[in-house]
Structure 1
Amino acid sequence: MYQTNLNMYEISFHAEKERYAEDITISDLETAISNGEILEEYHDDPRGQSCLILGYSQNRQIHIVCGYTSINWIRVITVYIPKPPKWIDERMRAKRGNSDA
Structure 2
Amino acid sequence: MEHYQVLDMWTKAELRQVIDCGTIEWRKHVLVRMMERGISRCEVLDAVRDGEMIESYSEDRPFASALLHAPGPPPLHVVTALDLTSETCFIITTYRTDEIHFEPDLKTRRPR
- TM bucket normalised to smaller: 0.7 to 0.9
Name the one with the larger helix percent: 2
**Residue of structure 2 equivalent to 1:99:** none
- Aligned-residue identity in percent: 19
In the superposition, the TM-score normalised over structure 2's length comes to 0.73
Larger Rg, first or second structure (1 or 2): 2
| Residue matched to 2:5 | none
> Could you tell me how far 1:6 is from its partner in structure 2?
4.0
Deviations 1:24-52 (A, max 9, x none): 10111111112111001101113421000
Larger mean Cα displacement after TM superposition, 44-53 or 74-83 = 44-53
* Larger relative strand fraction: 1
Distance 2:102 2:63 in 1: 24
Partner of 1:13: 28
1:95 shift after superposition:
0.8
User: Is 1:62 aligned to 2:76, yes or no?
Assistant: yes
Gaps of 5+ in 2: 1-10
Runs of 4+ in structure 1 displaced over 4 angstroms? Answer: none
CA RMSD of aligned residues (A): 1.9
Unaligned regions of 5+ residues in structure 1, if any? 97-101
- What TM-score results when the alignment is normalised by the length of structure 1? 0.80
